[in-house]
Structure 1
């Protein structure tokens, strides 16, 4: 079975189950709140099963169950120490996901208070340890005391029992999974409920085909990366996509929205990234950057488009001060670019998704754009993507690629991929062949008629550093020349037809004596 077919099958199975769970929650809460409960329980199940698998290996030669070992103080202390060191947390047998599901299925004595204690015990197990930062407040959005689940404990218990039972049916076979289970779950929920949430879903999750383009570009020719960084990391899916292209020793990211920040940490752990292999922070990256001083081998982002920001507080900020002007208050697009370049290692590669306006808007943005090209010569490629491929926005977007040490320093590659996609009901879709064409063109740095062009720095200078893609990639289609003699003949024939119709009409009117 080819990968794309397998992906579709796995996605369909996942989406069917998620929709069924969402239907159970419908009427109890707003659509955008569904995901907090569904994803929180998915993650709880994953942590439980990961721990059970690890404990099974640890106790393999002892011929003893986890429950039996936990009742032995000496075993318990050794298990806690081992588990905290290897996976960063522990869960008592009574608080495992499988225990909860067994109670729901067999003994019928499950209560939501037990689930709450189980969730809380995970966080408590990490207090004072090296993994505390990775797990702290991780389940804050899973509010099991909310009246939205039901007014009474019995009602809340009944509803969450349904959720746990259906999540128990989801296949977590990560070894042969071709999809990002948590990320795809989030993407599906966003696609169904984004309009109700009133949020720009594209800011939280980057479609996997776009993530693939960014990941392949920043890892091209590299199999090992010391560090990767996403300053607006959302659910972390873009960072994780890079690890499918190269070995990543450590992931760094920052996310301003606490709910999404929690999801990013969940996503890291769910994808077997050890708690000490990622550093995800929760704050506004432009106002309170958490990784200043660090340089990264690969930097990627899909930041919120044309976001407002306060540029008056950053005149002496090393990230922005050398450009001559600050990005405007009304549009922080170039502020994100400047922040990312600040963190890019000398031999690193950076790829960022932005609205098309960054290519041609003037004033301060024009000054920054000119500085990046003329003074620094960091811009390596401009890639135009189709419109309507992100949740929550139909605008066309562009990928800008930057390098501080460019192999082809005398030119910039322009790609117009705006017409290559599969039309979709809600979003347009980049096909595998569309992605491959972009990557091959970037890798070979070749000019293709109506698709790509290699522009010299002088060409860009002549255009006053305007990067609008049609200035460089000629997509004009010539119309067939008009045969004027043929047109004259057709007009003459039409006139003759009209004259005959008039004569026929006059003849009929005369016969009727009108």
Structure 2
């Protein structure tokens, strides 16, 4: 896709979002958490319309010669319309004539229009439930759409009309359907700044910075691969999975995920739909990965994760402790702090789960962890590092700049695992890269593309660069008490300058003279202070 075309569609996407936000604001939902649901669902409804229309033009071009193509479509015999299910690609939502935006637009003045809009969305979800439903571990199916007009307390018909009217403007996404345009990142990044507050919900927790996801994917997949599985046990909205899938190719990988949040699972489903990965929606699981891992027993070729660093899972401790001796939690379960239960090191649980879930023959992983993990002198963190070495699976660590995540002050690193590692471990200290920018009330560090590429190429090429990277062996790491901090392996260089005996004596005399002057000044100050103290009187 050309730069001009990309800019055009980014602008159109933002324009539609702004239009939908204006509607929500006019009906009392401005910056409301439900506003996010409404905008993303209405945008998805628009996308599915344009996607189906794009495919329909290829198999039934004569339909669009009609002045009202939706009515022409509706006039088709029932058996002929059903044949379209076999003619149109199987990973596309199949729509009935009454599901199309123009059909609703022409009926917006009929009674109970809000009910008609909600029922249309629910019927699309029911018609395509096998393709688009997210599953919970106990088998419950979470459908694609939910009623959206119920979020306004009055004037529901007017609200529904206003939404539909925003969808019949000149914005059409048909011409970008095969271009690989990333709708989701445009939607999410554009909306995120409005909802990263207490009133709108902390949606930022679901989004990993582009630089981090790009570095992880590029290092994991330096060469083309096919027919592989990718997994994220704490998937959020799926940023890491989507970046990795694009690096591999959407038709060359199958996505698996689990996340405890229904909101996150719904966002991930949206992400999969918008990124031509509908075939993987059946593998999206909403549930607790730690206590009820749905994909347990299956191993994966690639695993990416930005697990929660601090999360209260004290209610799950008893159940987890029953499993502490199992292979999955070989290093143990973190203790419950007496205070601040929200500061439990849950990431160590995810690290162990990822090591357990990685394909033993051809498995690679990249995990975002707090930088403190790489130097901990005892406890679960050190046990995990020791096990990474014992299994010959540690490939390297990249320590990122501070504030790479605008929403947290925690310094982060990325641990890379490879079950076929050759014994070399690449340690990179990228903490001095990037520039600081303002992101709302927060400061964040942004890497430019050259810096991102520097990290990627240094890792892939196993390059050792002064004060930036080092390549060490497993024995080297053991000798350093399993520290994975690049700085501890850098050579300390002392520069020597040859001088004559006369120059040495001259410098020494200068030092002595300067010291004498400083001592004299010190004596003078000491006398002045004592004189001032003695002069003090109480009146």
**Fold similarity call, TM over 0.5:** yes
Q: Could you say which residue in structure 1 is the equivalent of 2:96? A: 92
Report the 3-state secondary structure (helix = DSSP H, G, I; strand = E; otherwise coil) of the residue aligned with 1:300.
strand
2:450 paired with 1:433: yes
| TM-score of the two chains, using structure 2 as the length reference | 0.78
1:342-380 residue CA offsets vs partner (Å, 9 max, x unmatched): 111121210011111221234432442343234222211
Describe how 1:70-469 pairs up with structure 2 within 5 A.
70-71=74-75, 72-80=77-85, 82-83=87-88, 86-87=90-91, 89-100=93-104, 111-127=113-129, 129=130, 136-140=142-146, 143-147=148-152, 150-161=153-164, 164=167, 169=171, 173-174=175-176, 180-197=182-199, 201-247=203-249, 248-275=252-279, 279-309=283-313, 310-314=316-320, 315-316=322-323, 320=327, 323-329=330-336, 330-345=344-359, 346-407=361-422, 409=423, 411-426=424-439, 427-469=444-486
Q: Return closer, same or farther for 1:97/1:249 CA change in 2, 3 Å cut-off.
A: same
Indicate the SS of the match to 2:438.
coil
Structure 2: runs of 5 or more not aligned? 136-140, 337-343, 498-506, 525-539
Q: How many residues are matched?
A: 483
1:259–1:370 Cα change, 3 Å: closer
Task: Give the match for residue 56 of structure 1.
Answer: 57
1:369, 1:465 within 8 Å by CA — same for their partners in 2? Answer: no
Please give the secondary structure, in 2, of the residue aligned with 1:296.
coil
Change (3 A) 1:461 1:76: same
**Comparing 469-478 with 338-347, which one deviates more in the overlay?**
469-478
- SS at structure 1 position matched to 2:124: helix
Deviation at 1:397, TM superposition (A): 0.9
Q: Distance between the aligned counterparts of 1:419 and 1:8, measured in 2?
A: 32
Which stretch shifts more, 14-23 or 223-232?
14-23
Alpha-carbon distance between aligned partners in 1 of 2:476 and 2:368, rounded to the nearest angstrom? 24
Matched, 1:18 2:17: yes
Distance change (3 Å), C-alpha of 1:349 and 1:36: same
Q: In structure 2, do the counterparts of structure 1 residues 374 and 210 end up closer, same or farther at CA, with 3 Å as the change threshold?
A: closer
**Does the Cα contact within 8 Å between 1:225 and 1:298 map onto a contact in 2?**
no
Number of the residue aligned with 1:44: 45
- Paired position in structure 1 for 2:536: none
Question: Per-residue deviation at 1:192?
Answer: 2.7
CA deviation after TM superposition for structure 1 residue 214, in Å = 1.1
Report SS of the residue matched to 2:44. Answer: helix
Closer, same or farther: CA 35–280 of 1 in aligned 2, 3 Å: same
CA contact (8 A) 2:194 2:200 kept: no
2:503 corresponds in structure 1 to none
Q: Quick one: distance in 1 between partners of 2:201 and 2:486?
A: 30
Distance across 2 between alignment mates of 1:125 and 1:352: 38
Does the aligned pair in 2 maintain the 1:381–1:400 contact within 8 Å?
yes
**In structure 1, C-alpha distance between the alignment counterparts of 2:168 and 2:70, rounded to whole Å:** 23
Provide closer, same or farther for how the CA distance between residues 103 and 470 of structure 1 changes in structure 2, counting only shifts above 3 A: farther
Mapped to 1, the partners of 2:177 and 2:106 lie a distance apart of: 25
CA displacement 1:289-344 (0-9 Å, x = unmatched) = 11112111111111112333334423436865562433444211121111112111
| Structure 1 residues 277 and 25: alpha-carbon distance in aligned structure 2, compared to 1, 3 A threshold | closer
1:465-499: CA deviation from partner (whole Å, max 9, x where unpaired): 23234323469999x9xx88389669969x99xx9
SS at match of 2:149: coil
Indicate the larger mover: 349-358 or 15-24: 15-24
Distance 1:246 1:208 in 2: 17
Q: 1:458 to 1:253 in 2, by over 3 A?
A: same
Aligned 8 A contact 1:258 1:282 in 2: yes
- TM-score, normalising length: structure 1: 0.82
